[in-house]
Amino acid sequence: MSWLVLALSGVLEAVWATALGKSEGFSRLVPSLIFAVALAGSMGGLAYAMRDLPVGTAYAVWVGIGAVLTVLYSMLTGGESVNTLKIVFLVLIVGSVVGLKAAH
């Protein structure tokens, strides 16, 4: 259960990171509210997962999921360029997250 909660928390990390960028320094209400709700859910889920998982592993998986999804969203919406090297490094991050799960 902790791994599932951790994965969902990683997804929420991508949501709050994206909302933070769209909030334009908290000057836009809706993205700012989305940021706050997603941040609370993401941190709460991470804290829950850390009851059963080592801190380093949980944090690395959480950041890895959030980072990959944030970059992919930005690439898909045209906010960031797409190139082969970026894709390779994103795949390496995903492989590292899977490896941490497998090594647990």
List, for residues 30-45, the tens digit of each pLDDT value. 999 999 999 999 999 9
| pLDDT (0 to 100) of residue 62 | 97
Residue partners of 23: CB distance under 8 A and separation at least 6: 31, 32, 35
Q: For residue 19, give its domain range.
A: 2-103
Which DSSP string corresponds to 3-50? Answer: HHHHHHHHHHHHHHHHHHHHTTTTTSHHHHHHHHHHHHHHHHHHHHHT
Provide the domain count of the chain: 1
User: For residue 67, what is the DSSP state?
Assistant: H
| pLDDT (0 to 100) of residue 104 | 81
Assessment of whether the complete model's pTM goes beyond 0.85: yes
